[in-house]
Chain A
Amino acid sequence: MDFIAILSIFVLACFVGYYVVWSVTPALHTPLMAVTNAISSVIIVGALIAAAEAGSPAAKWLGLVGIVLASVNIFGGFAVTERMLAMYKKKERPAPKKEAN
C-alpha cells in the first residue's frame, strides 16, 4: 500500500472515531477508556511479526517482551471492561420487601 492510501484510511478513521465517540454515553466513559486501552494493544500485531520472523535475535526478544506487555493490556482491558459493564443495571426492583411497614 502506498502512503496516500494509508493516510486516507487514517483520516477517514479519525472522522469515524470522532462521531462514534461523541455517541458514547457519559455514564460509560470509564469503560470506554478501558476498552480503548485494550484495542490499542492491537500493536501486538507488530510484536508478533518481530517475534515470528527470523533475521534478528534481538528483534525477536523485543517482540516477545512486546507480546507480554500487549497481552497484559488486551486480556486485562477486555476483562475489566466486561466486569464494569456487567455492573450497569436498569431499575428492576419494583416491589421492595418491606412494603408491609
Chain B
Amino acid sequence: MSLSSFLSVVVEQIDIVEAPVEAAAHAVNPWVAFAYLVAGVCFIFALRGLSHPTTSRQGNRYGMIGMTIAVVTTLITHDLASLPEIIVAIVIGGGIGFIIARKIAMTDMPQLVAAFHSLVGLAAVLVGWAAYLNPGAFGILGEGGAISPVSRVEMGLGIAIGAITFSGSIIAFLKLAGKMSGAPIMLPGRHVINLGTLAAILGLTAYFTQDQSFWIIAVITVLAFIIGFLLIIPIGGADMPVVVSMLNSYSGWAAAAMGFTLHNTAMIITGALVGASGAILSYIMCKAMNRGFLSVIAGGFGSDAGGGGGGAAQTDRPWKRGSAEDAAFMMSQAEQVIIIPGYGMAVAQAQHVLREMTDLLKEKGVTVKFAIHPVAGRMPGHMNVLLAEANVPYDEVFELEDINGEFAQTDVAFIIGANDVVNPAAKTDKSSPIYGMPVFEVDKAKQVFFIKRSMGGVGYAGVDNDVFYMDQTMMLLADAKKMVEEINKALAD
C-alpha cells in the first residue's frame, strides 16, 4: 500500500499547515476549495473544446483532468481508513463503464446516454441519503447537532431531482432500447396527479425544515421516483430527442443541488454547465420540431404505431417507382447530390454502404453533400456520429440552415430513412401536425430519390408526404441497405 502511505503523508502535511482534521469539513481549507474550483474550470474547458472537432479531444482530456483533480482532492482531505474499499468500488464501476463504452454500437448511443443519466440520478439520491445519515461528515450540522435548515431544503430538493432523473431515465432507456413500446401511455387525469405529487414533494421538503425524521426523506424519494416515471410514460417516440436532452439537464441540476448541500464548487459549476447544456439541447430540439416544450412534456405526440389517424398514405395518388439502375444513372450524371439521412438509415445499418456510394460518385466527379436535420436520429447529433463512424468527413456534412438554399442548384436529392423532415406540408398545410417545422426544400431539386420500405408506412407524425407524388420523385421501395448496395453495384459497372 505505498499509495495510501504516500497519501497519508500528504494528509499529515496538510494537517500540520492547516486546522485539525475534524474541523476541516466545517472550515474548508482554502487550497481544497481552490482545487475544486480548478476542477470546475477544467469542465468548462471540456465543453469549450467541443466547439470544433479539431479541439474536441483536447477538451475531453480537460474533463478527465478535472475529474482526477476533484477525486484526488476529496480522497487526500478525508479519512483514508476506507481507501481499499473505495478503490475496489472505483475499479468495479470503472471496469463496467469502460467495457460498456468499448462495446456499445453507435446506433445504441441514445439508450446508453439515458442509462448513464439514470446512474447520475441514483448516485445523487444515495449521496443525499448518506448526507442525511452522517451530516457531520459533510459539515452541514447546525446548532444543537441538527442539520441546518438551508441544508435540509437543499438535501430534499437534491434527492427529489435525483430520483426524478433516475426513474425518468429508466423509462426513457426502456423506450429507446425497444424494451417498452414507444407509444405514449396516457393516464386519465395525469396532469392533476403530476401536479399533486410535485406539490407534495415541495410541501414535504418545507416540512422537513421543521421535522428531521427519516420518513420524510423516504417519502420524498418514493414520490419523486413515481413522478419521474409518470412524466416520461406519456411522451411518444418522436419526442425522445427532447426527453433525452431534458433528462441530461435534470442530471445536471441534481449534481448542482448536491453541490449546494456539500458546499462544493466543482459540483455546482458542473451541475450548472450540464443543466444549461441539457436545457439548450431541449430548446434546439423543440424548435426543430416546432413544438412547445410544455406540449412535449404534456405528451401524447407521435405514437410508434404509425399509420393511424386521418393521414395514412393515400396510395391511390399516382407515384413513380424507380430502380437502383435509375438512381445510379441519374446520380452519376449529376453535378451535385445531396443525401438526406434519417433514423431509418441507422435502423438498416446503411451508413457504411452509403459512404461507399459517395466514394463511387466522387470518383465520377460528382459533388456529394450530406444534409442533417436537427431531429434526425434519436438524440441531438446522433446522425453526425453515425456518419463519422462510417468515415464520412465532417466537412461534407451540413446543417439544415446551411444547405437548404442549395437544393435549387442540386441535381439529385437522395432521401434515405427520413420522411417528416422533407415534408412540404410543414410549410404549406396549416392543419398538419408538423406545420411550422423547418424542413429540407427537396421539392426544389431537379430529381428526388426516396428510399422507403413500402408505400404503406408514414413517418412518426403519421402524415402523408407530397414528395412521394411529385413529378421529379422516384420511389425506391426496398430495405435501405439492400437498395444502396444495388446502386453501388450499378455504379461500379
Residue in A40, A92, A99 with the greatest tally of chain B CB atoms within 10 Å: A40
Closest to B362 in A: A96
Main secondary structure of the interface of B (DSSP, over half): helix
Establish whether residues B123 and A41, one from each chain, have CB atoms under 8 Å apart when the complex forms: yes
Q: How far is the CB of B124 from chain A (nearest CB, A)?
A: 6
Interface residues of chain B, those whose CB is within 8 Å of chain A, are: 25, 28, 33, 36, 39-40, 43-44, 46-48, 50-54, 56-57, 59-60, 63-64, 66-67, 70-71, 74-75, 78-83, 85-86, 89-98, 100-102, 104, 106, 109, 112-113, 116-117, 119-120, 122-124, 126-127, 129-131, 133-134, 136-138, 150, 244-245, 248, 251-252, 254-256, 258-278, 280-281, 284, 359, 362-363, 372, 374, 379-382, 384-385, 388-389, 391, 393-397, 399
Establish whether residues B124 and A28, one from each chain, have CB atoms under 8 Å apart when the complex forms: no
Name 13 extra pairs, CB < 8 A, besides A47-B130, A81-B63.
A13-B273, A17-B275, A27-B372, A30-B109, A32-B47, A34-B116, A45-B70, A59-B134, A62-B130, A71-B90, A80-B112, A99-B363, A101-B363
Residues of A within 8 A of B393 (CB): 89-93
16 example contacts (A-B, Cβ-Cβ < 8 A) are as follows A14-B275, A24-B47, A33-B277, A36-B274, A36-B278, A39-B63, A39-B273, A45-B70, A47-B127, A53-B134, A59-B130, A72-B116, A73-B120, A76-B97, A79-B102, A85-B60
Establish whether residues A52 and B381, one from each chain, have CB atoms under 8 Å apart when the complex forms: no
Q: How large is the interface on A (under 10, 10 to 19, 20 to 34, 35 or more residues)?
A: 35 or more
Residues of A within 8 A of B82 (CB): 51-52, 60
Q: How far is the CB of A14 from chain B (nearest CB, A)?
A: 5
The contact of B244 among A13, A25, A33, A87, by CB within 8 Å, is: A33
Establish whether residues B270 and A62, one from each chain, have CB atoms under 8 Å apart when the complex forms: no
Closest to A67 in B: B89
Residues of B within 8 A of A9 (CB): 265, 268-269
Residues of A within 8 A of B43 (CB): 39, 42
Q: A21-B280, A30-B379, A36-B248 are in contact. Are A45 and B262 (CB under 8 A)?
A: yes
The contact of A56 among B74, B123, B133, B267, by CB within 8 Å, is: B133
Closest to A99 in B: B363
Main secondary structure of the interface of A (DSSP, over half): helix
Q: A42-B43, A55-B136 are in contact. Are A71 and B60 (CB under 8 A)?
A: no
- Please report the C-alpha to C-alpha distance between residue A29 and residue B50 in the assembled complex, in whole angstroms: 9
The contact of B97 among A56, A77, A89, by CB within 8 Å, is: A77
The contact of B262 among A46, A81, A84, A88, by CB within 8 Å, is: A46
Establish whether residues B276 and A66, one from each chain, have CB atoms under 8 Å apart when the complex forms: no
- Please report the C-alpha to C-alpha distance between residue A39 and residue B96 in the assembled complex, in whole angstroms: 17
The contact of A51 among B33, B85, B270, by CB within 8 Å, is: B85
Closest to B129 in A: A62
Residues of A within 8 A of B122 (CB): 69
Residues of B within 8 A of A16 (CB): 44, 269, 272-273
Establish whether residues B137 and A82, one from each chain, have CB atoms under 8 Å apart when the complex forms: no
The contact of A40 among B54, B98, B150, B271, by CB within 8 Å, is: B271
Q: How far is the CB of B184 from chain A (nearest CB, A)?
A: 23
- Please report the C-alpha to C-alpha distance between residue A66 and residue B75 in the assembled complex, in whole angstroms: 15
- Please report the C-alpha to C-alpha distance between residue A26 and residue B387 in the assembled complex, in whole angstroms: 14
Establish whether residues B363 and A69, one from each chain, have CB atoms under 8 Å apart when the complex forms: no
Sorted nearest first, the 10 A-B pairs with minimum C-beta distance are A71-B93, A76-B97, A29-B381, A17-B276, A53-B137, A50-B130, A13-B272, A79-B101, A29-B380, A46-B127
Establish whether residues A90 and B255, one from each chain, have CB atoms under 8 Å apart when the complex forms: no
